[in-house]
């Protein structure tokens, strides 16, 4: 009878340790996951706050280069902006410009620098237009111009 009482205590002890360990493990895993997501979200917000650009062309005088219209994109944020077909989406009068029809003269622009955005002239007819450039971190600039 004495042995069975000790055995019962041991079983209770082991069970309580296992349950406490399991609960602790779950809590730690959940908190770690939440904090990892929080950290990643923080980096996205940080990048979003650091990123900004504008189109600086003269709206009346859009220069050309071969069969392309040239738009000047100036980085007015505090972080380098990647300028590729994959990081930018362009819309002219609400219609998306297919990636084959535009490119940049540089793959990235440092703060306060300018790069050329070249858009195939087949995308832009004579008249008034709105160019909407959606860059990294969903930063947007709209530019109204005339050809």
- Is 57 a binder of other proteins (CB under 8 A)? yes
State both tokens at 83: 């300028």
Interface pattern 124-143 for other proteins (x via CB under 8 A): --------------------
Distance in Å, CB of 98 to other proteins, minimum: 25
Residue number with CB closer to other proteins (43 or 94): 43
Residue whose CB is less far from other proteins, 50 or 120: 50
Task: State how far the Cα of 42 lies from the Cα of 38, in Å rounded to an integer.
Answer: 6
Size of the site for other proteins (CB under 8 A): 43
SS3 per residue for the chain: CHHHHHHHHHHHHHHHHHHHHHHHHHHHHHHHHHHHHHHHHHHHHHHHHHCCEEECCECCECCEECCEEEEEEEECCCCCEECCCCCCEEEECCEECCHHHEEECCCEECCCCEEEEEEEHHHCCCCEEEEEEECHHHCEEEEEEEC
Contacts of 138 (CB under 8 A, 6+ apart): 48
**Residue numbers 22-41 binding other proteins by CB under 8 A:** 23-25, 27-28, 31-32, 35-36, 38-39
Q: Among 2, 4, 43, 100, which residue interacts with other proteins (rule: CB under 8 A)?
A: 43
Site for other proteins in 82-111 (CB under 8 A): none
Footprint of other proteins on this chain (CB under 8 A)? 9, 12-13, 15-17, 19-21, 23-25, 27-28, 31-32, 35-36, 38-39, 42-43, 45-46, 49-50, 52, 54, 56-58, 60-63, 72, 74, 76-78, 112-114
């Amino acid at each position: 009878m004495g042995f069975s009482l000790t055995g019962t205590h041991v079983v209770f002890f082991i069970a309580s340790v296992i349950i406490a360990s399991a609960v602790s493990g779950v809590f730690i895993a959940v908190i770690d996951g939440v904090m990892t997501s929080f950290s990643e979200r923080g980096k996205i917000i940080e990048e979003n706050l650091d990123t900004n650009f504008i189109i600086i062309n003269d709206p009346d005088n859009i220069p050309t280069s071969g069969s392309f219209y040239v738009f000047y994109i100036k980085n007015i944020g505090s972080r380098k902006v990647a300028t590729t077909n994959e990081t930018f989406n362009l819309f002219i009068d609400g219609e998306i410009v297919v990636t084959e029809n535009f490119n940049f003269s540089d793959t990235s622009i440092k703060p306060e620098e300018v790069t050329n955005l070249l858009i195939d002239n087949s995308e832009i007819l004579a008249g008034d237009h709105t160019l909407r450039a959606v860059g990294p971190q969903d930063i947007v600039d709209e530019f109204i111009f005339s050809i």
